[in-house]
Amino acid sequence: MLASKLTGPGLSTGPRVPNVEKCVEKSLTKVITAGIVISVIVLQKPVRPATQGVPAGALFFYKFQVVTRQMAKPFLTYQQQIEKLRTEKGLIISNEAYAEAMLRQNSYFALITGYKHLFKNKTTKKYKDGTKFEDIVTLYEFDRGLRELFLKYLCRVERHIRSLLSYYFSEKHGETQEKYLDKANYRYTGADVVRVDRLVYKLTSIIHNPDSQYEYIRHYVSQNHNVPLWVLLNTVTFGTLSKMYMLLPQDIQIKISTNFQGINESQLGSILSILSRFRNVCAHNERLFSYRVKASIPDLLLHQKLSLPKTGVQYSCGKSDLFAVVIALRYLLSKNDFLTLKQELVLLINKFKRSTTAIQEKELLSAMGFPENWTSITRFRKL
């Protein structure tokens, strides 16, 4: 139990009153065992004259906060999971064999916990009337299709950035590994010192790992005693690649960013950081359609041309959601690639709409961060 005094305008404070704490502790014993977080404020008026300069009869305010862990969720067999969904949650399950097969294949956590939210009644916490087990599976499979689609195009952007970064860095500094391992060739000042140290350590570890899983790295080390940057960058993650870009001097950043119309070197850095996180979601089979990041892409001209809704002065969509990725890809992909992406995305959404009536298109698009006019993104110029 944690006891602390409350302070503030109009509140008097004073010494501890042990008897009050004991009384509260005794009265809350049953509540604590139930696993509930609770706060209790007790007002105690001392009988005896107070000391330490506090007037006799003054009110003392004490706050006791009890923080306990929730009860652990019990293990349930597949049949028990199905029965819970049907009887406790109100989910329609007409084919138990199919439901069990899906739970075996995907797990309750990944399938049900991950995709139940759009189907739940916020008041009753049960599923909306008429919701079927198949509806959840349909959303799950739609999200899997989204991951496969976006991963394909995010990998193209990743490959493009690897090529440009290694080209322009080597153009300036040469092909020897000593150059990209030289901290002086990065923004080695202020808060970036620690980041550069980590980057160089990581790159060095790749080169000097005798058990490297990359045969071509071992070949260059043993035969050439040098691993050019255009070879090494094939081994780093999109996250490391985006961090490396952010640590490059501005002149190299500018050369890279000029390959993409409508964005500058600073905007490109922010975009790459966001895309690397979405790329990880896709690669690790996490829920994508409603994923949000804490950071956001910068305001771009397409935000304005699409007349995206705002909350105050901030755009309320297309900043840290999946539509932010669509906007970013509009700038980073070729025209033909983006048109193909859009066509595939339209087909995927239309297939979902035909497969279930449990979720309306507007509700799905809102969860994805897509405005209703999202398909208009190809009508506007990026500049």
For 9-18, 262-271, 336-345, 373-382, which range has the lowest pLDDT when averaged over its residues?
9-18
pLDDT surpassing 80 at residue 95: yes
Banded model confidence at residue 12, pLDDT cuts 50, 70, 90: very low
Banded model confidence at residue 58, pLDDT cuts 50, 70, 90: low
Q: CB-based contacts of 244: which residues, under 8 Å, 6+ apart?
A: 165, 199, 236
pLDDT tens digit sequence for 311-358: 999 999 999 999 999 999 999 999 999 999 999 999 999 999 999 999
Banded model confidence at residue 268, pLDDT cuts 50, 70, 90: very high
Amino acid letter for position 81: Q
pLDDT surpassing 90 at residue 294: yes
pLDDT surpassing 90 at residue 368: yes
Banded model confidence at residue 248, pLDDT cuts 50, 70, 90: very high
